[in-house]
Amino acid sequence: MSTSETVEFAVGPCPCGSGAIVKSVTTQDNPWSSADISYGINCPKCAGAWDITSGTLTNRESARPHQEAYRAERQASAELHVIVDELVDRYFEDFGAKTMTAELREMQRLGISTMNIAQFRKAVHEGRRPSERSYALKNPDWLFSVAKEAEKEEAFVQLRDKYNDARARTADTAKAVIRRRIPNE
């Protein structure tokens, strides 16, 4: 049975200045365990308004629009991938490569796969679809032509634009997030 020891000490003032940022170090009494280090804020006002992650204080209120934008981006990405996956799977079904090597070469020619043949074969044997063995968004011109051929260009363009707008919004809202580094001890 082991015991642990926890030491807490202030590393700097909280954002409002009426409390402190506290570093907590917990160590076990055995030589194979490492120390557990965490941070907290002992000011009720700041503890409710700020998060501490990876050595950085983040203002929750300023981060909220960014989090919402990021969720919208993930949703737009999921919607786009539904049509992209369908288009890619249909393309390679119609392509009808006789060998795995031929299919991989086509993906590499299109610039949508960086797999080597061993990785590709493993993915095929695992039952992964062509859309799961490639990243078609790396070649938007080809993808647009495939969507056009499948008479889905309007839906594809709408989803692509929605995703691009969501990405831009995520990037814009990230700039407004208030972050501060935790002071060095």
- Give the tens place of pLDDT for each residue, 1-30: 568 888 999 999 999 999 999 999 998 888
76 or 38, which is more confident: 76
CA dihedral 143, 144, 147, 149 (to 10 degrees): -110
pLDDT computed for residue 169 by the predictor: 98
Mean pLDDT of 101-128: 97
pLDDT computed for residue 183 by the predictor: 79
pLDDT computed for residue 1 by the predictor: 57
pTM: 0.78
Residue ranges of the domains in the chain? Answer: 4-53, 63-174
Q: What are phi and psi of 4, to 5 degrees?
A: -130, 160
pLDDT computed for residue 32 by the predictor: 81
- Give the tens place of pLDDT for each residue, 120-165: 999 999 999 999 999 999 999 999 999 999 999 999 999 999 999 9
Mean pLDDT of 42-57: 92
Q: How confident is the model at residue 168 (pLDDT cuts 50, 70, 90)?
A: very high
Query: Where in the chain does DSSP place strands (E)?
Result: 4-13, 20-28, 36-41, 50-53, 56-59, 179-181
pLDDT computed for residue 150 by the predictor: 96
